[in-house]
Amino acid sequence: MPYLVRRLDEGESNATQLWRELQASGFRGGVMSVRLCVAALRGGPPRTRPAPNPVWRRPSPRRAARLLLNNDEHGEMDGRFLDALVAAVPEIERALAEVKAFTVIVREQDQAGFGAWLDRCRDGPLSGLAEGLRRDRAAVEAALALSWSTSPVEGQINRVKTLKRTMYGRAKLDLLRARVLAA
């Protein structure tokens, strides 16, 4: 203890450095005990390093897509990243416009707009999606025209599959029926 008081009076306030010096003279304690002792001698809590400035990391493809679709969600660094991304790949802007147009079509259930959207996307960056929707056009138009959906049935199928998955393959029909009816 007198060694620490003397070194603190000399101006050395780095607890890790003091711990190294004490270790060289035979001290077997840990660095935290020296930090606590130095803090008590100083009359305050132990000093900690200031938190480093957060480093911006490039967003994952999924996060980048979400940032593109939600303009008001991003900060300054993300905004600069998106500007650079759109400048490097100009097709992104067109794809983004088509995605937003498709969102409006689905939300407003606009069948006529869907046909025009398919024609616009034929040669654009969303041509693969448009081709898939064109192959299943009758189902898409039915979804846009009709007010009901198969969501409740899909939910039940998902519930049964989850039950079966939790049974680790032991779900024969009789046991599965009992679990479905009990759940």
DSSP 108-122: HT-HHHHHHHHHHHT
Between CA 110 and CA 106 the distance in angstroms is 7
What stretch of H or E contains 106? Answer: helix 91-108
Q: Which of 35, 32, 34, 59 minimizes the C-alpha distance to 46?
A: 35
pLDDT at residue number 73: 67
Between CA 15 and CA 8 the distance in angstroms is 10
Contact 54, 85 (CB under 8 A): no
Rounded average pLDDT over 67-93:
85
Rounded average pLDDT over 38-59:
74
Hey, what are 156's tokens? Answer: 């039940």
Query: For the segment 83-96, what is each residue's pLDDT rounded down to a tens digit?
Result: 899 899 989 989 99
Residue, of 153 and 74, whose pLDDT is higher: 153
Does residue 50 carry a pLDDT above 70?
A: no
In single-letter form, the type of residue at position 148 comes to W
Between CA 141 and CA 177 the distance in angstroms is 36
Domains in the chain: boundaries: 2-42, 53-88, 91-149, 151-182
